[in-house]
Amino acid sequence: MADTCGQVLLGSGLTVLSHPLMYIKVLIQVGHEPLPPILGRNLFGRQVYQLPGLFAYAKHIIKIDGKVGLFKGLGPRLCAGTIGTIVHSRVVQVGLNRLSTTKEMIARSCATIVTHPFHVITLRCMVQFIGRETKYSGVFDSIITVYREEGILGFFAGLIPRLLGDVLSLWICNLLAHLINTYTIDDSVCHVHTGEIKNCSQAVTGFFASMLTYPFVLVSNLMAVNNCGLAGGLPPYASVYPTWVDCWRHLSREGNMSRGNSLFFRKLPAGKMYAIDQKRFF
């Protein structure tokens, strides 16, 4: 129990610190580009038009809503984190006899399913920035709003791609870590260095797995706000998608499967139409 409480406190602290970054990422994922492109240089030193990065976007939000505005949706996200940690811990304790990866997959999936309603509310609180709506103003009021307008299914919008992404990320990460630890680490290396190398390999494989499964995160977030009555979930920011597969296909055709993945060096796609002022930038 003490370990779980410690995990909840640590997770809550990290959530608060990382929330502005997630907030900006979600707005970019939806396609909200309120600032015009600027001429900059890419990693190779070439001059290219780039969309403003993390800090410029944060300054824009602060200018409109103040510093507190960077923390929209924090309440339901903290609820999701707390409940998710408790559910994950309990499921892991129950499934002690299962294989480690299978046990972790079940625990993560259970936590994701239970906390997804709070995730949906978090995203919608954030996306309200685009249309300046106040439809989702609190956790309990938001729960009532979602249930009244969409029923139980509204709480699980975007759940399937999120679950698929979590499961694939876990298995890819563990498979790569196993291959690295089995075939690249020399048993003659002292145990201290072996532990450091394994920790490093886990970090690298985790990053690689998250990159590969990012399209699932993007599609899940878009479906969570799609056609929910907010400007950010309707044209011109997004088409109305009947299913998450339609959303995936549309993003794939446009070449936007990595939108929002990077908050720096954001290259402007040629001929891309952005919703702000309906201007076309080249």
The one-digit pLDDT tens for each residue of the chain (282 residues) are 678 888 899 999 999 999 999 999 999 999 898 988 887 777 777 777 788 889 999 999 999 999 999 999 999 999 999 999 999 999 988 866 666 888 899 999 999 999 999 999 999 999 999 999 999 988 999 999 999 999 999 999 999 999 999 999 999 988 888 787 777 666 555 555 566 666 677 778 888 899 999 999 999 999 999 999 999 999 887 889 999 999 999 999 988 899 999 888 787 654 455 444 334 333
| Residue pair 233/150 in contact by the 8 Å Cβ criterion | no
Query: What Rg value do the Cα atoms of the chain yield, rounded?
Result: 20
- According to DSSP, residue 275 is labeled S
Closest CA to 86 of 160, 12, 18: 12
pTM for the full predicted model: 0.88
The CATH code of the domain at 1-267 is 1.50.40.10
Report how far Cα 152 is from the mean position of its chain's Cα atoms: 22
Task: List the domain boundaries for the chain.
Answer: 1-267
Closest CA to 219 of 132, 143, 123: 123
Those residues with Cβ within 8 angstroms of residue 115's Cβ, 6 or more apart along the chain or in another chain: 79, 80, 81, 83, 84, 87
